[in-house]
Amino acid sequence: MRLKKKEGAKTKKDGKKEGEEKTKAGPNDPIIREGPDGVVFYTLPPITSNMQSPDGRATYLKLKLTFELPNEAAVEVVTANGPRLQDAFQALFRELRVEDLQGSQGSYQVRMEILRRVNLILAPTRVNSVLIEEMLIN
């Protein structure tokens, strides 16, 4: 992976710039950025899944998730477990209904369930937080 520097970023004590990104060439590859206090932000490619619908109409959920990781070593663990994570997300999202995602409480519950499942898969490595950057229901 190579670092992609953002202009105007602050230089840290270790010589790296805050906000530097490690990216691969493909558009469906994760985006990895350094954050404050040594954390790493790992943005997954967008996830699309069909959901349950009471009227039988096709309903889709599109999510863009970012994991807050404690350090760079966790990046390798997340990358290596990508297929397991995708499987866990699809199993969770296919069971959701549109009503489950309504309001801030629905968003919070989905975020906590994603975090729980991710940490079970990655154990003993832990994800600090799951950030929902985009959620689209169609």
DSSP-assigned letters across all residues of 9-59: PPBPTTSPBTT-EEE-SSTTS-EEEE-GGG-EEEEPPPEEEEEB-TT---E
pTM exceeding 0.75: yes
Give pLDDT, residue 32. Answer: 96
The owner of tokens 């070593």 is: 73
* Contact by Cβ (8 Å): 113, 100: no
* Contact by Cβ (8 Å): 130, 114: yes
Render each residue's pLDDT in the chain as its tens digit; 138 residues. Answer: 434 434 444 445 545 555 555 544 477 889 999 999 999 999 999 999 999 887 878 899 999 999 999 999 999 999 999 999 999 999 999 999 888 888 899 999 999 999 999 999 999 999 999 999 999 998
Give pLDDT, residue 3. Answer: 40
Residue 97 is classified by DSSP as: B
Q: Domains of the chain by range and CATH?
A: 25-137 (3.30.479)
Phi/psi for 68 (5° steps) reads -95, 115
Strand 21-23, strand 2-4: pairing: antiparallel
